[in-house]
Structure 1
């Protein structure tokens, strides 16, 4: 079984550079150590050319095939993805709203044999991710829609400032746009103990540029990111080609499911699992969603 898992992973990734099947090896330890240092410094790390170069074409084609299934809707949202009608103080950053026009393909619309599905479910890949985040293990989200999804940002659109529901997010850009589509983030702008509303408001109102970092991501790069605590966005895409990004979401705890409100925003539908979890969802903190 272990040998079969190793072969499956080695076929998908740049195994010469990232030997996931050799967790006792020096190259594996070096990669994990570098990621941990990056995450401690900024909450974000990028492993270049992680996907096997020979599979980049197939990766792009697979994701482009399901991209038309993305739920697309222009909505008014806030950085916390909570109901914009929520009663909040006048100076609360959650009262700052923007239009969001990007789209998401849910996990149940991504075939099981696609590269991103096989990578997301791989025990060896999950072990590597857990080690990078300094954990014994990570869990696939209990959410049947958002555990793995494809983000589609069409030309003229962007993904506005927001926080993630889950603590850890792993992403792979599968298709670059002609222009724009730059990932921007504010490292650890909040923590599990403190919302830090003042700095969040500063960024949302355009006065917090000193808190923002910019990151150019290429197809096949692996990004590991603490998106629950770092405000982030994708700038508007230019040209005629959309930006596609596979989002592989894990959690330190099992059973994490998105809220009904946020799930409807992202996918245009909810499932019985979301309704059953409403009001008792698993979270690792008491922050706004």
Structure 2
């Protein structure tokens, strides 16, 4: 840990509640214990006001400056982010589709001096997250586009029901919408061993009782999205919803697939093509 990194954390993070430089402190232990308990029970934990309130306007401004660089492509998708397969039974949940209208600013368009970029690379931040997820360590996604993104949901748009490709996700709300934009999720609706298509279909058809989160700027969310169906409801009003997504993995060198990268960013880089034959799945789930 360098002095500059410790200074960065001190300036950006509410270290009174989240002392990232002091893992032996009572505040660290309390924050980690609560996150672990939440993640074990419901697969989701929110660390409120993780970013100092004095920097919320800076977070918002930095997001607004890069949001025009987001790749927009309204497309028809299903919860598994796979191509429409007409050979599937008509009652299969993958046959239920919506328009996805959210957009992503890729990592190579996020300035290195931006708060979210500096935080993403912080080893103190990574050590804290690994402890919350009960992992020995985590690694930055090697993907030059998807490692760190700003998710932009404009008014009238939403991010429909889906599962993540990664086992865990870390996100930070940087700008909330005037209305809507609520995070909804169904914790552990499937597992690595069981798709539970009937339960998934019930939710996609408007049934079930999803949990709901009204996040605020500066809140850090830890989430196990591989097995929990989730969405962001339609944004209303005149303000877009912005969320920084920090992508980490349990093993180093992970790069997104060519198809998924093109879907999200409208382009692929040589790194994606080179990594295609080395891809390793953590399970045999549909997506």
The TM-score, its normalising length taken from structure 2, stands at 0.96
Is 1:153–2:158 an aligned residue pair?
A: no
Q: 1:203 Cα shift?
A: 0.9
List alignment gaps of at least 5 residues for structure 1: none
1:249 to 240, 247, 255: 247
Superposition pairs for residues 57-136 of structure 1, below 5 Å?
Answer: 57-85=57-85, 87-136=87-136
Residue correspondences, number: 287
The 1:85–1:274 alpha-carbon spacing in structure 2 relative to 1, beyond 3 Å, is farther
Question: Structure 2 matches for 1:2-17, cutoff 5 A?
Answer: 2-17=2-17
Which stretches in structure 2 are left out of the alignment for 5+ residues? Answer: none
**CA–CA distance in 2 between the matches of 1:259 and 1:199?**
28
**3-state secondary structure, aligned to 1:127:** helix
Q: Which position in structure 2 is the counterpart of 1:281?
A: 279
Tell which deviates more after alignment, 43-52 or 3-12.
Answer: 3-12
Please tell me whether the aligned partners of residues 141 and 147 of structure 1 are also in contact (alpha carbons under 8 angstroms). Answer: yes
Q: Which runs of 4+ in 1 moved over 6 A?
A: none
Task: Check whether the contact 2:16–2:27 (CA below 8 A) recurs between aligned residues.
Answer: no
What's the offset of the Cα at 1:86? 7.1
Tell me the SS of whatever aligns to 2:278. coil
Write the distance in 2 (CA, Å) between the matches of 1:63 and 1:86.
40
Contact 2:96 2:204 in 1 (8 A): yes
- Distance in 1 separating the partners of 2:56 and 2:130: 25
| Stretch deviating more after TM superposition (197-206 or 175-184) | 197-206
- Hey, what's the Cα distance between the residues in 1 that align with 2:74 and 2:2? 45
Task: Tell me the TM-score normalized by structure 1.
Answer: 0.96
Summarize the Cα distance change of 1:86–1:275 in structure 2 as closer, same or farther, 3 Å threshold: farther
Of 261, 270, 273, 1:272 maps to 270
Output the aligned Cα RMSD.
1.3
